[in-house]
Structure 1
Protein backbone atom coordinates (compact mmCIF):
# COMPACT_ATOMS: atom_id res chain seq x y z
CA UNK A 1 0.00 0.00 0.00
CA UNK A 2 1.21 3.49 -0.85
CA UNK A 3 1.01 6.48 1.49
CA UNK A 4 2.14 10.05 1.08
CA UNK A 5 4.64 11.08 3.73
CA UNK A 6 6.07 14.57 3.49
CA UNK A 7 4.84 14.70 -0.10
CA UNK A 8 6.64 11.53 -1.20
CA UNK A 9 5.67 7.94 -1.83
CA UNK A 10 5.98 5.64 1.19
CA UNK A 11 5.33 1.97 0.55
CA UNK A 12 4.16 -0.50 3.18
CA UNK A 13 3.45 -4.19 2.76
CA UNK A 14 0.20 -5.11 4.52
CA UNK A 15 0.26 -8.90 4.32
CA UNK A 16 -2.59 -8.85 1.81
CA UNK A 17 -5.16 -7.67 4.32
CA UNK A 18 -7.09 -4.36 4.49
CA UNK A 19 -6.71 -2.06 7.47
CA UNK A 20 -9.26 -2.65 10.23
CA UNK A 21 -9.50 0.06 12.90
CA UNK A 22 -10.70 -2.51 15.43
CA UNK A 23 -7.41 -4.46 15.25
CA UNK A 24 -4.02 -3.62 16.75
CA UNK A 25 -1.26 -2.58 14.34
CA UNK A 26 2.25 -3.98 14.04
CA UNK A 27 4.89 -1.91 12.23
CA UNK A 28 7.93 -3.79 10.90
CA UNK A 29 11.11 -1.80 10.18
CA UNK A 30 13.95 -3.30 8.16
CA UNK A 31 17.68 -2.76 8.52
CA UNK A 32 20.47 -1.43 6.29
CA UNK A 33 20.31 -2.16 2.56
CA UNK A 34 17.06 -4.13 2.99
CA UNK A 35 13.35 -3.62 2.44
CA UNK A 36 10.04 -4.96 3.77
CA UNK A 37 10.57 -8.39 2.20
CA UNK A 38 12.97 -9.54 4.94
CA UNK A 39 9.88 -9.92 7.15
CA UNK A 40 7.98 -12.13 4.65
CA UNK A 41 6.88 -14.97 6.91
CA UNK A 42 6.35 -12.91 10.05
CA UNK A 43 4.30 -10.13 8.44
CA UNK A 44 1.97 -12.45 6.57
CA UNK A 45 1.28 -14.46 9.71
CA UNK A 46 0.54 -11.33 11.75
CA UNK A 47 -1.77 -10.03 9.02
CA UNK A 48 -3.77 -13.26 8.97
CA UNK A 49 -3.94 -13.58 12.74
CA UNK A 50 -5.53 -10.44 14.09
CA UNK A 51 -3.12 -7.60 13.28
CA UNK A 52 -2.95 -4.75 10.86
CA UNK A 53 0.53 -4.86 9.33
CA UNK A 54 2.66 -2.02 8.02
CA UNK A 55 6.00 -3.42 6.87
CA UNK A 56 7.74 -0.30 5.68
CA UNK A 57 10.20 0.42 2.92
CA UNK A 58 12.24 3.24 4.43
CA UNK A 59 12.90 6.26 2.17
CA UNK A 60 15.27 5.38 -0.65
CA UNK A 61 14.73 1.64 -0.11
CA UNK A 62 12.54 -0.68 -2.14
CA UNK A 63 9.42 1.08 -3.40
CA UNK A 64 9.64 4.20 -1.23
CA UNK A 65 10.89 7.42 -2.77
CA UNK A 66 14.24 8.83 -1.71
CA UNK A 67 16.42 10.36 -0.64
CA UNK A 68 17.56 8.04 2.13
CA UNK A 69 17.40 9.54 5.61
CA UNK A 70 20.68 10.31 7.31
CA UNK A 71 19.96 9.89 11.02
CA UNK A 72 17.99 7.64 13.34
CA UNK A 73 16.11 10.69 14.57
CA UNK A 74 15.01 11.48 10.99
CA UNK A 75 13.84 7.89 10.46
CA UNK A 76 11.87 8.06 13.71
CA UNK A 77 10.18 11.30 12.63
CA UNK A 78 9.33 9.68 9.29
CA UNK A 79 7.79 6.68 11.06
CA UNK A 80 5.59 8.95 13.15
CA UNK A 81 4.50 10.81 10.00
CA UNK A 82 3.70 7.46 8.39
CA UNK A 83 1.54 6.46 11.35
CA UNK A 84 -0.32 9.75 10.97
CA UNK A 85 -0.82 9.14 7.24
CA UNK A 86 -2.12 5.63 7.92
CA UNK A 87 -4.43 6.80 10.71
CA UNK A 88 -2.68 4.69 13.35
CA UNK A 89 -2.70 6.14 16.85
CA UNK A 90 -0.71 3.42 18.60
CA UNK A 91 1.35 0.49 17.34
CA UNK A 92 3.66 -2.36 18.20
CA UNK A 93 7.06 -1.50 16.70
CA UNK A 94 9.30 -4.33 15.49
CA UNK A 95 12.69 -3.30 14.12
CA UNK A 96 15.74 -5.17 12.87
CA UNK A 97 19.28 -3.77 13.21
CA UNK A 98 19.13 -0.15 11.97
CA UNK A 99 15.35 -0.45 12.19
CA UNK A 100 15.62 -1.48 15.84
CA UNK A 101 17.34 1.81 16.66
CA UNK A 102 14.61 3.73 14.87
CA UNK A 103 11.99 1.82 16.85
CA UNK A 104 13.86 2.54 20.09
CA UNK A 105 14.11 6.25 19.30
CA UNK A 106 10.39 6.40 18.50
CA UNK A 107 9.36 4.55 21.65
CA UNK A 108 11.50 6.91 23.70
CA UNK A 109 10.38 10.08 21.95
CA UNK A 110 6.63 9.41 21.96
CA UNK A 111 5.87 6.62 24.47
CA UNK A 112 2.11 7.07 24.16
CA UNK A 113 2.17 5.93 20.54
CA UNK A 114 4.04 2.65 21.10
CA UNK A 115 2.20 -0.24 22.74
CA UNK A 116 5.14 -2.66 22.68
CA UNK A 117 8.69 -2.62 21.35
CA UNK A 118 10.59 -5.54 19.78
CA UNK A 119 14.24 -5.05 18.82
CA UNK A 120 15.69 -7.80 16.63
CA UNK A 121 19.44 -8.15 16.06
CA UNK A 122 20.12 -5.00 18.00
CA UNK A 123 22.99 -3.30 19.82
CA UNK A 124 23.86 0.05 21.30
CA UNK A 125 26.08 1.68 20.39
CA UNK A 126 25.84 0.08 16.94
CA UNK A 127 29.39 0.70 15.79
CA UNK A 128 30.44 -0.08 12.22
CA UNK A 129 34.10 -0.75 11.53
CA UNK A 130 36.12 1.66 9.40
CA UNK A 131 36.84 -1.22 7.01
CA UNK A 132 33.15 -1.89 6.43
CA UNK A 133 32.28 1.81 6.14
CA UNK A 134 35.04 2.23 3.60
CA UNK A 135 33.93 -0.78 1.59
CA UNK A 136 30.33 0.44 1.58
CA UNK A 137 31.52 3.77 0.19
CA UNK A 138 34.13 2.56 -2.32
CA UNK A 139 33.28 -1.06 -3.20
CA UNK A 140 29.63 -1.77 -2.48
CA UNK A 141 29.67 -5.36 -3.73
CA UNK A 142 32.55 -6.15 -1.38
CA UNK A 143 30.54 -4.67 1.50
CA UNK A 144 27.53 -6.76 0.52
CA UNK A 145 29.64 -9.91 0.51
CA UNK A 146 31.22 -9.03 3.86
CA UNK A 147 27.88 -8.44 5.51
CA UNK A 148 26.37 -11.64 4.15
CA UNK A 149 29.23 -13.69 5.53
CA UNK A 150 29.05 -12.00 8.92
CA UNK A 151 25.23 -12.06 9.12
CA UNK A 152 24.80 -15.82 8.81
CA UNK A 153 25.82 -18.45 11.30
CA UNK A 154 26.89 -20.96 8.65
CA UNK A 155 27.35 -21.20 4.89
CA UNK A 156 24.87 -24.08 4.68
CA UNK A 157 22.21 -23.98 7.41
CA UNK A 158 20.03 -27.10 7.78
CA UNK A 159 17.38 -26.57 6.63
CA UNK A 160 18.46 -23.45 4.78
CA UNK A 161 14.89 -22.26 4.27
CA UNK A 162 11.31 -23.52 4.57
CA UNK A 163 11.06 -23.01 0.78
CA UNK A 164 12.66 -25.88 -1.20
CA UNK A 165 15.51 -24.76 -3.44
CA UNK A 166 15.96 -21.38 -1.78
CA UNK A 167 19.40 -20.37 -0.55
CA UNK A 168 19.35 -18.01 2.42
CA UNK A 169 22.71 -16.37 1.83
CA UNK A 170 22.26 -15.91 -1.90
CA UNK A 171 18.76 -14.55 -1.40
CA UNK A 172 20.09 -11.94 1.03
CA UNK A 173 22.89 -11.07 -1.38
CA UNK A 174 20.52 -10.58 -4.30
CA UNK A 175 18.19 -8.41 -2.23
CA UNK A 176 21.05 -6.10 -1.26
CA UNK A 177 22.18 -5.92 -4.88
CA UNK A 178 18.66 -5.02 -5.95
CA UNK A 179 18.36 -2.32 -3.29
CA UNK A 180 21.71 -0.90 -4.43
CA UNK A 181 20.63 -0.86 -8.07
CA UNK A 182 17.31 0.87 -7.38
CA UNK A 183 18.26 3.14 -4.51
CA UNK A 184 20.28 6.34 -4.16
CA UNK A 185 24.02 6.28 -4.69
CA UNK A 186 26.08 5.00 -1.74
CA UNK A 187 22.93 3.85 0.09
CA UNK A 188 24.77 1.16 2.05
CA UNK A 189 27.30 3.72 3.29
CA UNK A 190 24.47 6.07 4.26
CA UNK A 191 22.71 3.35 6.25
CA UNK A 192 25.88 2.23 8.02
CA UNK A 193 26.73 5.83 8.86
CA UNK A 194 23.27 6.24 10.37
CA UNK A 195 23.87 3.25 12.67
CA UNK A 196 27.41 4.27 13.54
CA UNK A 197 26.59 7.88 14.42
CA UNK A 198 23.46 7.34 16.53
CA UNK A 199 24.19 8.66 20.00
CA UNK A 200 20.73 8.89 21.52
CA UNK A 201 20.11 5.27 22.45
CA UNK A 202 20.77 5.48 26.17
CA UNK A 203 18.53 8.52 26.59
CA UNK A 204 15.79 6.96 24.46
CA UNK A 205 15.93 3.68 26.39
CA UNK A 206 15.51 5.51 29.68
CA UNK A 207 12.25 7.01 28.40
CA UNK A 208 10.69 3.78 27.11
CA UNK A 209 7.67 2.76 29.18
CA UNK A 210 6.21 -0.14 27.19
CA UNK A 211 7.01 -3.87 27.39
CA UNK A 212 10.16 -4.56 25.37
CA UNK A 213 11.64 -7.69 23.81
CA UNK A 214 15.22 -8.01 22.60
CA UNK A 215 15.48 -10.88 20.11
CA UNK A 216 19.14 -11.77 19.57
CA UNK A 217 21.08 -14.27 17.52
CA UNK A 218 23.42 -16.45 19.58
CA UNK A 219 25.99 -16.47 16.75
CA UNK A 220 25.49 -12.86 15.64
CA UNK A 221 28.84 -11.32 14.68
CA UNK A 222 27.33 -7.98 13.59
CA UNK A 223 25.42 -7.24 16.81
CA UNK A 224 26.46 -9.89 19.35
CA UNK A 225 24.07 -10.44 22.28
CA UNK A 226 26.43 -8.82 24.79
CA UNK A 227 26.23 -5.58 22.79
CA UNK A 228 22.55 -5.22 23.74
CA UNK A 229 23.24 -5.21 27.48
CA UNK A 230 22.88 -1.45 27.92
CA UNK A 231 19.46 -1.43 26.26
CA UNK A 232 18.16 -4.28 28.38
CA UNK A 233 19.43 -2.73 31.58
CA UNK A 234 18.05 0.74 30.74
CA UNK A 235 14.49 -0.26 29.85
CA UNK A 236 12.38 -1.09 32.87
CA UNK A 237 10.21 -3.75 31.23
CA UNK A 238 12.78 -5.33 28.90
CA UNK A 239 13.67 -8.97 28.51
CA UNK A 240 15.77 -10.84 25.97
CA UNK A 241 15.60 -14.10 24.03
CA UNK A 242 18.63 -15.59 22.30
CA UNK A 243 17.80 -17.61 19.21
CA UNK A 244 20.07 -20.62 18.72
CA UNK A 245 21.90 -21.38 15.46
CA UNK A 246 21.46 -17.96 13.94
CA UNK A 247 23.48 -14.86 13.20
CA UNK A 248 22.34 -11.34 12.39
CA UNK A 249 19.84 -12.45 9.73
CA UNK A 250 17.49 -13.98 12.27
CA UNK A 251 14.30 -13.65 10.20
CA UNK A 252 15.65 -15.78 7.36
CA UNK A 253 17.90 -18.22 9.23
CA UNK A 254 15.33 -19.07 11.91
CA UNK A 255 12.02 -17.70 10.57
CA UNK A 256 9.73 -19.89 12.67
CA UNK A 257 11.57 -19.25 15.92
CA UNK A 258 11.48 -15.51 15.24
CA UNK A 259 7.79 -15.62 14.39
CA UNK A 260 6.97 -17.61 17.52
CA UNK A 261 8.88 -15.17 19.71
CA UNK A 262 7.41 -12.05 18.12
CA UNK A 263 3.82 -13.24 17.97
CA UNK A 264 3.99 -14.64 21.48
CA UNK A 265 5.29 -11.30 22.72
CA UNK A 266 2.66 -9.36 20.76
CA UNK A 267 -0.28 -11.35 22.10
CA UNK A 268 0.69 -11.84 25.72
CA UNK A 269 -1.28 -9.87 28.29
Structure 2
Protein backbone atom coordinates (compact mmCIF):
# COMPACT_ATOMS: atom_id res chain seq x y z
CA UNK A 1 0.00 0.00 0.00
CA UNK A 2 1.46 3.35 -1.04
CA UNK A 3 0.56 6.14 1.35
CA UNK A 4 1.84 9.31 2.96
CA UNK A 5 1.62 9.77 6.70
CA UNK A 6 2.30 12.38 9.35
CA UNK A 7 5.08 11.88 11.85
CA UNK A 8 3.26 9.87 14.53
CA UNK A 9 2.21 6.27 14.18
CA UNK A 10 -1.31 7.05 15.44
CA UNK A 11 -2.02 9.76 12.84
CA UNK A 12 -4.66 8.88 10.20
CA UNK A 13 -3.29 7.96 6.80
CA UNK A 14 -3.41 10.21 3.74
CA UNK A 15 -3.85 7.50 1.13
CA UNK A 16 -2.99 8.26 -2.48
CA UNK A 17 -2.80 4.76 -3.85
CA UNK A 18 -3.46 1.26 -2.61
CA UNK A 19 -2.06 -1.94 -4.01
CA UNK A 20 -4.90 -4.36 -4.70
CA UNK A 21 -4.24 -7.77 -6.24
CA UNK A 22 -0.82 -6.59 -7.38
CA UNK A 23 -2.00 -3.39 -9.11
CA UNK A 24 -1.98 0.24 -8.05
CA UNK A 25 -5.46 1.60 -7.30
CA UNK A 26 -6.20 5.28 -6.92
CA UNK A 27 -8.47 6.23 -4.02
CA UNK A 28 -9.63 9.81 -3.45
CA UNK A 29 -10.29 10.58 0.22
CA UNK A 30 -12.34 13.76 -0.08
CA UNK A 31 -9.58 16.11 1.01
CA UNK A 32 -9.08 14.62 4.48
CA UNK A 33 -6.72 11.93 5.76
CA UNK A 34 -8.17 8.45 5.71
CA UNK A 35 -8.88 7.07 9.18
CA UNK A 36 -10.24 3.49 9.28
CA UNK A 37 -11.43 4.12 12.85
CA UNK A 38 -14.18 6.39 11.50
CA UNK A 39 -17.19 5.05 9.57
CA UNK A 40 -15.90 4.17 6.10
CA UNK A 41 -17.73 4.75 2.83
CA UNK A 42 -16.51 3.34 -0.49
CA UNK A 43 -17.83 4.98 -3.66
CA UNK A 44 -17.97 2.95 -6.88
CA UNK A 45 -18.40 4.66 -10.24
CA UNK A 46 -20.24 3.47 -13.34
CA UNK A 47 -19.17 2.15 -16.74
CA UNK A 48 -16.40 4.05 -18.48
CA UNK A 49 -16.05 6.61 -15.70
CA UNK A 50 -13.83 7.27 -12.68
CA UNK A 51 -13.88 8.66 -9.13
CA UNK A 52 -14.43 12.25 -10.29
CA UNK A 53 -18.16 11.66 -10.79
CA UNK A 54 -18.41 11.76 -6.98
CA UNK A 55 -16.58 15.09 -6.59
CA UNK A 56 -19.63 16.86 -5.18
CA UNK A 57 -20.27 14.17 -2.54
CA UNK A 58 -16.84 12.97 -1.40
CA UNK A 59 -15.70 16.24 0.17
CA UNK A 60 -18.94 16.66 2.10
CA UNK A 61 -18.84 13.12 3.45
CA UNK A 62 -15.16 13.39 4.39
CA UNK A 63 -15.78 16.61 6.31
CA UNK A 64 -18.83 15.25 8.13
CA UNK A 65 -17.55 12.27 10.04
CA UNK A 66 -16.76 9.68 7.38
CA UNK A 67 -13.60 8.23 5.95
CA UNK A 68 -13.93 8.17 2.19
CA UNK A 69 -12.48 5.95 -0.52
CA UNK A 70 -13.75 7.06 -3.92
CA UNK A 71 -11.88 4.62 -6.12
CA UNK A 72 -10.97 4.28 -9.75
CA UNK A 73 -11.90 0.69 -10.59
CA UNK A 74 -9.20 -1.49 -12.19
CA UNK A 75 -8.13 -0.14 -15.57
CA UNK A 76 -10.02 3.12 -15.06
CA UNK A 77 -8.75 6.61 -14.35
CA UNK A 78 -5.49 6.48 -12.41
CA UNK A 79 -5.76 2.80 -11.44
CA UNK A 80 -3.60 0.18 -13.03
CA UNK A 81 -4.40 -3.29 -14.30
CA UNK A 82 -7.04 -4.35 -16.79
CA UNK A 83 -10.78 -3.78 -16.38
CA UNK A 84 -12.51 -6.75 -14.77
CA UNK A 85 -15.03 -8.41 -17.04
CA UNK A 86 -17.81 -9.32 -14.61
CA UNK A 87 -19.79 -7.79 -11.80
CA UNK A 88 -18.90 -10.74 -9.56
CA UNK A 89 -15.18 -10.21 -10.14
CA UNK A 90 -15.56 -6.53 -9.25
CA UNK A 91 -17.54 -7.44 -6.11
CA UNK A 92 -14.71 -9.72 -4.98
CA UNK A 93 -12.23 -6.95 -5.82
CA UNK A 94 -14.05 -4.64 -3.38
CA UNK A 95 -13.24 -6.96 -0.49
CA UNK A 96 -9.59 -6.99 -1.57
CA UNK A 97 -9.72 -3.18 -1.59
CA UNK A 98 -11.03 -3.17 1.98
CA UNK A 99 -8.24 -5.52 3.03
CA UNK A 100 -5.62 -3.24 1.45
CA UNK A 101 -7.04 -0.21 3.27
CA UNK A 102 -7.24 -2.03 6.61
CA UNK A 103 -11.04 -1.77 6.75
CA UNK A 104 -13.13 -4.51 8.30
CA UNK A 105 -16.53 -3.24 7.18
CA UNK A 106 -17.79 -0.35 5.06
CA UNK A 107 -20.85 1.25 3.54
CA UNK A 108 -20.80 0.85 -0.24
CA UNK A 109 -22.18 3.59 -2.48
CA UNK A 110 -22.45 2.64 -6.14
CA UNK A 111 -23.78 4.21 -9.33
CA UNK A 112 -25.04 2.19 -12.32
CA UNK A 113 -22.43 -0.55 -12.86
CA UNK A 114 -21.03 0.42 -9.47
CA UNK A 115 -24.48 -0.12 -7.97
CA UNK A 116 -24.55 -3.67 -9.32
CA UNK A 117 -21.08 -4.22 -7.83
CA UNK A 118 -22.18 -2.89 -4.42
CA UNK A 119 -25.31 -5.05 -4.51
CA UNK A 120 -23.38 -8.19 -5.44
CA UNK A 121 -20.68 -7.50 -2.84
CA UNK A 122 -23.30 -7.10 -0.12
CA UNK A 123 -24.89 -10.42 -1.11
CA UNK A 124 -21.64 -12.36 -1.46
CA UNK A 125 -19.65 -10.78 1.37
CA UNK A 126 -22.20 -9.76 4.02
CA UNK A 127 -19.61 -9.63 6.79
CA UNK A 128 -17.77 -6.81 4.99
CA UNK A 129 -20.71 -4.55 4.07
CA UNK A 130 -22.69 -2.63 6.68
CA UNK A 131 -25.07 -0.88 4.25
CA UNK A 132 -25.47 -0.10 0.56
CA UNK A 133 -26.58 2.97 -1.37
CA UNK A 134 -27.56 2.25 -4.95
CA UNK A 135 -27.92 5.09 -7.48
CA UNK A 136 -29.37 4.43 -10.92
CA UNK A 137 -29.90 0.75 -10.11
CA UNK A 138 -32.14 -1.96 -11.55
CA UNK A 139 -32.28 -5.74 -11.39
CA UNK A 140 -31.17 -5.99 -15.00
CA UNK A 141 -29.22 -3.43 -17.01
CA UNK A 142 -29.38 -4.73 -20.58
CA UNK A 143 -27.34 -2.91 -23.21
CA UNK A 144 -28.51 -2.64 -26.82
CA UNK A 145 -26.41 -4.79 -29.18
CA UNK A 146 -25.56 -1.77 -31.34
CA UNK A 147 -24.18 0.08 -28.32
CA UNK A 148 -22.22 -2.99 -27.24
CA UNK A 149 -20.73 -3.23 -30.73
CA UNK A 150 -19.88 0.47 -30.82
CA UNK A 151 -18.29 0.36 -27.38
CA UNK A 152 -16.25 -2.70 -28.33
CA UNK A 153 -14.70 -0.68 -31.17
CA UNK A 154 -12.00 1.17 -29.24
CA UNK A 155 -12.36 4.91 -29.52
CA UNK A 156 -15.78 4.75 -31.16
CA UNK A 157 -17.27 8.20 -30.33
CA UNK A 158 -20.86 7.17 -31.05
CA UNK A 159 -20.84 4.89 -27.98
CA UNK A 160 -19.82 7.78 -25.75
CA UNK A 161 -22.45 10.05 -27.30
CA UNK A 162 -25.15 7.44 -26.69
CA UNK A 163 -24.18 6.79 -23.07
CA UNK A 164 -23.84 10.47 -22.18
CA UNK A 165 -26.94 11.52 -24.10
CA UNK A 166 -29.19 8.85 -22.63
CA UNK A 167 -27.58 9.16 -19.23
CA UNK A 168 -28.63 12.76 -18.61
CA UNK A 169 -32.02 14.24 -17.98
CA UNK A 170 -33.27 17.69 -19.03
CA UNK A 171 -30.85 19.57 -16.78
CA UNK A 172 -27.86 18.05 -18.51
CA UNK A 173 -29.20 18.78 -21.99
CA UNK A 174 -30.17 22.37 -21.19
CA UNK A 175 -26.89 23.38 -19.57
CA UNK A 176 -28.49 23.64 -16.15
CA UNK A 177 -25.59 22.41 -14.03
CA UNK A 178 -25.73 23.54 -10.42
CA UNK A 179 -21.93 23.77 -10.35
CA UNK A 180 -20.50 27.00 -11.80
CA UNK A 181 -18.35 26.34 -14.84
CA UNK A 182 -19.42 22.70 -15.26
CA UNK A 183 -21.37 21.69 -18.36
CA UNK A 184 -22.71 18.20 -17.76
CA UNK A 185 -22.88 16.84 -21.31
CA UNK A 186 -19.48 18.16 -22.53
CA UNK A 187 -17.92 17.21 -19.20
CA UNK A 188 -19.27 13.69 -19.46
CA UNK A 189 -17.97 13.32 -22.99
CA UNK A 190 -14.50 14.47 -21.97
CA UNK A 191 -14.46 12.08 -19.02
CA UNK A 192 -15.40 9.06 -21.11
CA UNK A 193 -13.13 10.04 -24.01
CA UNK A 194 -10.19 9.85 -21.61
CA UNK A 195 -10.89 6.23 -20.68
CA UNK A 196 -8.44 3.63 -21.91
CA UNK A 197 -9.39 1.96 -25.23
CA UNK A 198 -11.72 -0.99 -24.78
CA UNK A 199 -12.67 -0.26 -21.16
CA UNK A 200 -16.18 1.00 -21.92
CA UNK A 201 -16.90 -2.12 -23.96
CA UNK A 202 -15.78 -4.41 -21.12
CA UNK A 203 -17.90 -2.49 -18.62
CA UNK A 204 -21.07 -2.48 -20.70
CA UNK A 205 -20.68 -6.17 -21.48
CA UNK A 206 -20.39 -6.89 -17.74
CA UNK A 207 -23.58 -4.94 -17.05
CA UNK A 208 -25.40 -6.66 -19.88
CA UNK A 209 -24.35 -10.13 -18.69
CA UNK A 210 -25.27 -9.65 -15.04
CA UNK A 211 -28.48 -11.52 -14.34
CA UNK A 212 -28.19 -12.07 -10.60
CA UNK A 213 -29.59 -8.73 -9.40
CA UNK A 214 -32.84 -10.16 -8.11
CA UNK A 215 -31.20 -13.06 -6.32
CA UNK A 216 -28.61 -10.73 -4.83
CA UNK A 217 -31.33 -8.38 -3.56
CA UNK A 218 -33.12 -11.32 -1.95
CA UNK A 219 -29.91 -12.30 -0.17
CA UNK A 220 -28.81 -8.88 1.10
CA UNK A 221 -29.42 -8.51 4.83
CA UNK A 222 -27.97 -5.04 5.42
CA UNK A 223 -29.98 -1.81 5.09
CA UNK A 224 -30.20 -0.33 1.60
CA UNK A 225 -30.98 3.08 0.15
CA UNK A 226 -32.00 3.57 -3.48
CA UNK A 227 -31.47 7.04 -4.97
CA UNK A 228 -33.30 7.15 -8.28
CA UNK A 229 -33.72 9.72 -11.02
CA UNK A 230 -37.38 10.18 -11.90
CA UNK A 231 -36.45 10.62 -15.59
CA UNK A 232 -33.77 7.92 -15.77
CA UNK A 233 -33.90 6.27 -19.21
CA UNK A 234 -31.08 3.78 -18.57
CA UNK A 235 -32.31 2.32 -15.27
CA UNK A 236 -35.90 3.56 -14.95
CA UNK A 237 -37.08 4.52 -11.47
CA UNK A 238 -39.85 1.92 -11.73
CA UNK A 239 -37.23 -0.81 -12.09
CA UNK A 240 -35.26 0.59 -9.16
CA UNK A 241 -38.33 0.54 -6.92
CA UNK A 242 -39.05 -3.05 -7.96
CA UNK A 243 -35.54 -4.06 -6.94
CA UNK A 244 -35.86 -2.18 -3.64
CA UNK A 245 -39.04 -4.13 -2.89
CA UNK A 246 -36.99 -7.35 -2.94
CA UNK A 247 -34.62 -6.12 -0.23
CA UNK A 248 -35.22 -6.97 3.42
CA UNK A 249 -34.68 -3.36 4.56
CA UNK A 250 -34.77 -0.57 2.00
CA UNK A 251 -35.60 3.08 1.51
CA UNK A 252 -36.21 4.83 -1.80
CA UNK A 253 -35.55 8.47 -2.64
CA UNK A 254 -36.71 9.54 -6.10
CA UNK A 255 -35.30 12.85 -7.31
CA UNK A 256 -37.54 14.73 -9.77
CA UNK A 257 -36.37 16.16 -13.12
CA UNK A 258 -33.25 13.97 -12.95
CA UNK A 259 -31.83 11.30 -15.24
CA UNK A 260 -29.34 8.50 -14.72
CA UNK A 261 -26.42 10.71 -13.62
CA UNK A 262 -28.08 11.44 -10.30
CA UNK A 263 -25.02 12.60 -8.36
CA UNK A 264 -23.94 15.19 -10.95
CA UNK A 265 -27.40 16.34 -12.03
CA UNK A 266 -28.76 16.69 -8.48
CA UNK A 267 -25.70 16.93 -6.20
CA UNK A 268 -27.39 18.61 -3.25
CA UNK A 269 -30.35 16.23 -3.19
CA UNK A 270 -27.94 13.29 -3.47
CA UNK A 271 -25.86 14.53 -0.52
CA UNK A 272 -29.00 15.03 1.54
CA UNK A 273 -30.20 11.49 0.80
CA UNK A 274 -26.78 9.98 1.54
CA UNK A 275 -26.23 11.78 4.81
CA UNK A 276 -29.75 11.17 6.12
CA UNK A 277 -29.38 7.45 5.49
CA UNK A 278 -25.82 7.16 6.80
CA UNK A 279 -26.63 9.18 9.93
CA UNK A 280 -29.55 6.85 10.63
CA UNK A 281 -27.26 3.83 10.26
CA UNK A 282 -24.79 5.36 12.73
CA UNK A 283 -27.57 5.93 15.27
**What is the aligned counterpart of 2:190 among 174, 179, 204?**
174
Query: Does the CA contact (< 8 Å) of 2:61 and 2:67 recur in 1?
Result: yes
User: How much does 1:239 deviate?
Assistant: 1.9
Query: Does the CA contact (< 8 Å) of 1:70 and 1:190 recur in 2?
Result: yes
- 2:212 counterpart of 1:206: no
Uncovered stretches (5+) of structure 1, i.e. residues with no partner: none
Whole-Å separation in 1 of the counterparts to 2:38 and 2:269: 24
User: How much does 1:157 deviate?
Assistant: 4.5
Question: SS at the partner of 1:219?
Answer: coil
CA-atom RMSD, angstroms? 1.2
User: How much does 1:201 deviate?
Assistant: 1.5
Uncovered stretches (5+) of structure 2, i.e. residues with no partner: 1-15
Question: SS at the partner of 1:216?
Answer: strand
Number of residue pairs matched?
Answer: 263
Question: SS at the partner of 1:31?
Answer: coil
- 2:63 counterpart of 1:48: yes
* Cα 1:229/1:257, change in 2 over 3 Å: closer
1:243-258 correspondence runs (5 A): 243-258=255-270
Deviates more, 1:30-39 or 1:136-145: 136-145
Question: SS at the partner of 1:223?
Answer: coil
Query: Does the CA contact (< 8 Å) of 1:140 and 1:188 recur in 2?
Result: no
State the partner residue of 1:135.
150
State the partner residue of 1:102.
117
Deviates more, 1:136-145 or 1:63-72: 136-145
**What is the aligned counterpart of 1:147 among 145, 157, 163?**
163
Query: Does the CA contact (< 8 Å) of 1:161 and 1:167 recur in 2?
Result: no
Whole-Å separation in 1 of the counterparts to 2:258 and 2:113: 18
- 2:120 counterpart of 1:84: no
Whole-Å separation in 1 of the counterparts to 2:82 and 2:243: 30
User: How much does 1:22 deviate?
Assistant: 2.6
What TM-score, normalized to structure 1? 0.95
Deviations for 1:177-223, whole angstroms, at most 9, x for unmatched residues? Answer: 111xxx2x321111000000012222211111111011110011111
Bigger relative contact order, structure 1 or 2, given CA contacts below 8 A and separation 6+?
1
